């Protein structure tokens, strides 16, 4: 009969210096599934990206192909509805964008389109950032201070249905022709809706979490920072993303009407010059940049809301 170390007199099981092969093997076997899972998730992400990109290319390619065939067969008037290859070629003749000037002043003719894109993106992102921060602060104040909420929420509910485009004349009068008017239009387009959404999201936070934090000694500011804000941020991101295209259209309308710079002004220059190719080029640039902006916002949303799965975002 073979005796174990615990059966040998004088042997101390705590001083067993021999390596535990079973423990090391168990750790190895535990790490292997984790590595395999990470590789599987990366492969799954690449596969999903490839499939999505394939369908995107097929969809856009089919749309452009039908348009080109219709133009080649004479089914549409190419003077009014030029085919894509014609209006995309207008990008090589950016000198016409300078009448009137678009984007940054004293811009070289080869970079007018780029500066117009940068000018529009700067206005949209500035307005969205200001609207998000101010609406979050005002919504939290309206929820915590009942008198402040009762005085402000009815006014915000009254002003929320007004379209951002309706604020353009006031914005031009108040801020003049320039970036201020465009940023204000974007800001006003998201501020009222996000403020009401903030109040509604705070009211829906589970009271159990708040009571638990208070029992553990958390102050009101700690409850706000660690309980309420993390709970309402996902809803606010969703609403902000839904209003992204509305803000995008509002700033473009402001650029067409009074700002006279940016992507929206390119379309107006095409109308003033009776150049449909330039108009459709501006519309194509607006669509592509808007799509990329939404795609980038979705990636930011995934990074910020890291505890949410893709199906919940």
Q: CATH number, domain at 104?
A: 1.10.3720.10
CA 68 to chain CA centroid, nearest Å: 32
Q: What is the CA radius of gyration of the chain?
A: 29
Residues 140 and 174 in one domain: yes
Q: Tell me what pLDDT residue 86 has.
A: 85
Single pTM value for the model: 0.72
Domain ends where: 18, 49, 76?
A: 76
Confirm whether 23 is domain-assigned. no
Q: Residue 157 sits in which domain range?
A: 92-312
Residues 161 and 297 in one domain: yes
Residues 133 and 62 in one domain: no
Q: Tell me what pLDDT residue 237 has.
A: 83
Q: Tell me what pLDDT residue 104 has.
A: 41
Residues 58 and 116 in one domain: no
The model's pLDDT over 234-257, given as tens digits with 9 standing for 90+, comes to 888 888 888 888 888 888 888 887
| Number of separate domains in the chain | 2
Residues 55 and 172 in one domain: no
Q: Ramachandran region of residue 205, left (φ > 0), alpha (ψ -120 to 50) or beta?
A: beta
Mean pLDDT of the chain: 78
Confirm whether 34 is domain-assigned. no
Torsion sign, CA atoms 53, 56, 62, 63? negative
The model's pLDDT over 53-73, given as tens digits with 9 standing for 90+, comes to 888 889 989 999 999 999 888
Residues 60 and 169 in one domain: no
Helix (H/G/I), strand (E/B), else coil: 20: coil
The model's pLDDT over 212-238, given as tens digits with 9 standing for 90+, comes to 888 888 888 888 888 888 888 888 888
Confirm whether 174 is domain-assigned. yes
Distance CA 136, CA 233 (A): 9
């Amino acid at each position: 009969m073979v005796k174990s170390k615990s059966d040998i007199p004088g042997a101390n099981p705590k001083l067993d210096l021999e390596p535990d092969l079973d423990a090391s093997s168990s750790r190895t076997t535990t790490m292997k599934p984790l590595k395999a899972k990470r590789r599987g998730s990366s492969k799954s992400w690449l596969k999903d990206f490839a499939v999505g990109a394939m369908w995107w290319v097929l969809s856009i390619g089919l749309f452009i192909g039908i348009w080109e065939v219709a133009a080649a067969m004479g089914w549409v008037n190419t003077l009014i509805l030029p085919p894509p290859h014609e209006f995309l070629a207008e990008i090589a003749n950016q000198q016409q964008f300078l009448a009137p000037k678009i984007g940054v002043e004293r811009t070289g003719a080869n970079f007018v389109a780029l500066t117009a894109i940068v000018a529009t993106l700067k206005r949209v992102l500035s307005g969205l950032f200001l609207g998000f921060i101010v609406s979050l602060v005002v919504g939290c104040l309206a929820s915590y201070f009942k008198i402040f909420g009762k005085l402000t929420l009815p006014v915000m509910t009254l002003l929320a249905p007004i379209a951002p485009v309706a604020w353009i004349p006031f914005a031009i009068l108040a801020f003049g022709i320039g970036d201020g008017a465009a940023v204000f239009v974007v800001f006003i387009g998201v501020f009222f809706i996000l403020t009401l959404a903030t109040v509604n999201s705070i009211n829906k936070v589970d009271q159990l979490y708040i009571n638990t934090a208070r029992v553990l000694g958390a102050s009101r500011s700690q409850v706000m920072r660690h309980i309420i804000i993390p709970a309402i941020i996902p809803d606010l991101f969703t609403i902000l993303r839904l209003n992204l295209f509305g803000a995008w259209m509002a700033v473009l309308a402001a650029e067409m009407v009074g700002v006279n710079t940016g992507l929206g002004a390119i379309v107006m220059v095409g109308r003033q010059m009776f150049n449909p190719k330039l108009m459709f080029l501006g519309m194509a640039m607006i669509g592509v940049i808007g799509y990329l902006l939404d795609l980038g916002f979705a990636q930011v949303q995934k990074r910020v809301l890291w505890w949410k799965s893709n199906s919940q975002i």
